[in-house]
Amino acid sequence: MKFNAHYLPTIIHDNEHIQAVIYGRIAEDPGLLSWVDRMVVATDRRVISLNHKPGYTDNDEFTHDIVDGVDVSRADPFTAVTLNTKISHFTLRFVNNRCVEKFVHYIEKRRLEYYQAGITGVRP
């Protein structure tokens, strides 16, 4: 996780502000040895999914209007968070419970803003 946190400032734009972060593990392939660390960052402009190691970076980013919602499954002391988008769905497991509340609140807030903008025609 340390590599992700140290790499994050290189992909954040000027005047872009981090609102919430979750971090955990995601299964890239079937099997027990396929778990990799991943960080998902919600900024005021986009959502960034980041896996960075020395010599390797996997970075997906999308705007808030692509996000359909967030599903949360709790099993103390950890939580699984599924981010549903119009493109795909991915589940981050072993997420810190303290980070989940802020992340889900911010994503849902942005979804409501885009929903209301669709009704009124005014983009957030």
Give residue-wise pLDDT tens across range 56-111.
888 899 988 889 889 999 988 889 999 999 888 889 999 988 899 999 999 999 99
Q: CA-to-CA distance for 73 and 80, rounded, in angstroms?
A: 5
The whole-angstrom separation of Cα 50 and Cα 123 is 27
pLDDT tens digits for range 13-29: 999 999 999 999 988 77
User: What is the secondary structure of 11-72 as a DSSP string?
Assistant: TSPTT--EEEEEEEEEESSSSGGGEEEEEEEEESS-EEEEEEETTEEEEEEE-GGGEEEEEE
The matching CATH number, chosen from 2.30.29.30, 3.30.390.30, 3.10.620.30, 3.40.50.300, for 2-120 is 2.30.29.30
Upstream peptide bond of 77 is cis (omega within 30 degrees of 0): yes
pTM of the model: 0.86
